[in-house]
Amino acid sequence: MDGDLLAAWRDHYKPWSVEMSGPAFEGERVTRLQLVLDLVVDNMGPRQLYDYYRIRVRRTRFAETIGEALTRYAEIAGWIKELKPAVDAGTESTLNRSSSDECV
């Protein structure tokens, strides 16, 4: 293994994978690590994961969990220091979506 690759595995991936080894959601058996790997590496879609693991949480919670896991990796890797909120309290979304544009 290349020295830089080994260092990235040891310093970034390994500690992150240990943190992500717990259940993704209360009462579910699938881990956060497995969900991220299935989405990012195996290119499975959220709907496929819902069906495969029989996940029983809202889609927003599912998306938050994935976002939190990827953000944590970026923090460990030193790619980000502090995230700024995408939407300030009391202001319109930075995506400029109307209420009819909500995802289901």
90 pLDDT above the threshold of 60: no
Confidence of residue 83 (pLDDT cuts 50, 70, 90): low
3-state secondary structure 7-58: HHHHHHHHHHHHHCCCECCCCCCCEHHHHHHHHHCCCCCHHHHHHHHCCCCC
Residue 89 DSSP one-character state: T
49-74 burial, b at 16+ Cβ within 10 Å, e below that, comes to: beeebebeeeeeebeebbeebeebbe
Domain range summary for the chain, segments of one domain joined by +: 30-76
Q: Per residue in 41-54, pLDDT tens?
A: 999 999 999 999 99
| Model pLDDT, residue 94 | 38
For the record, the structure tokens of 92 come out as: 């319109």
pTM across the whole model: 0.71
